[in-house]
Structure 1
């Protein structure tokens, strides 16, 4: 994969931000798109991402310059396995709702949901005439402008779809960005508070708590965490239920904190 997210005059190298160059678990270096590029030694460098990879970061870490712009472009060079249909990039807001997603496959999907829940899932742009899951390298550009999204494949195949979003959209940068997968709906925390019920993936919650701990230091107090936006109790009668399937194996101190406030 080669991956860039262009938000303004300065593009964001997502692979660099997620430290692919340090070969995290589930990521291996391999030959890239061009095996003998002129004026360079050897082939391009690419990364193979396996199912065991857990690649994520607080969205603010990737885009420290400010808010997520209304119009943006995503540029990537990818070689998906033949016949695959899976999410390459997912951006979740602070409540664990996926707001931006790129699904590659035989019929790529661009997922976008603004602060008003628009567009509806059935209206997500689906590019039926595009197949990038054929086992070959493809250069793909996705451009979002106003109420349309355009996908350009290999510099020549151009397809534009309507994007029924609000006039002034907001993508929350207080959540996390996940690469190479999508958080499964059935693997969730159920949080009951006075204004209703939220569902948060164990992965979203753990990563957000991890970011909070890193900011405050490892000696963060439990009372600091219970006032975190997705973990708080407003009165003695309010119930906080954290039902989870998995806990991240790393960060032992985080596991201990979660264990104190969870009912399994």
Structure 2
């Protein structure tokens, strides 16, 4: 009686490095299939981390991991390629309509009228000649009232209050009276001092402020309200003599 002995020869198992290289060559989808049942929540891991987890969880059964990997590789190679989706036919592009032409216009004859030169057109323009100043009725009324009593002039800026002050000062000096022009600010007092000096002459205008005292005996004195108040206090105490016919502006 003969006994038949059958021997089955298996290929030698891969080393860990060889298995690692084979895993690296596979797409991530194959690694996820291989991780099912081996790695918990494998879908959250990247490719490198997934390979580390596969080798770690299969360290006691690398042969089984290799066998499953070879099966997935064979299955992937035997699957028929997916036919590409046929492209949808595109409708032919319609040609743009030709641009509409404007109706032909008959050639217009050029005008034979002589053109007007710029110099001739600007001939009537220019700076008007000097005209005599005519005061407004309210300015005349203010000056007339100032000859009899105190006057308050309240009009918008630029309406002509300075004319009333200048003309009133001129009339007061003709009567040999002293004019006091007050302002609340030193800067404004300096401005009015320069302005009145050009109108009446620098020898007839003086200024009194806390920082400046020029020509204090002039018939027109520009000063701040604080200086005027101090002068009135001194006059009330008898320290100085202030004429009552002084015109205050």
Question: Normalising to structure 1: TM-score of the pair?
Answer: 0.21
Flag the structure with higher helix content: 2
Give the structure-2-normalised TM-score. Answer: 0.22
Structure exhibiting the larger radius of gyration computed from Cα positions: 2
Relative contact order (C-alpha < 8 Å, sep 6+): which is higher? 1
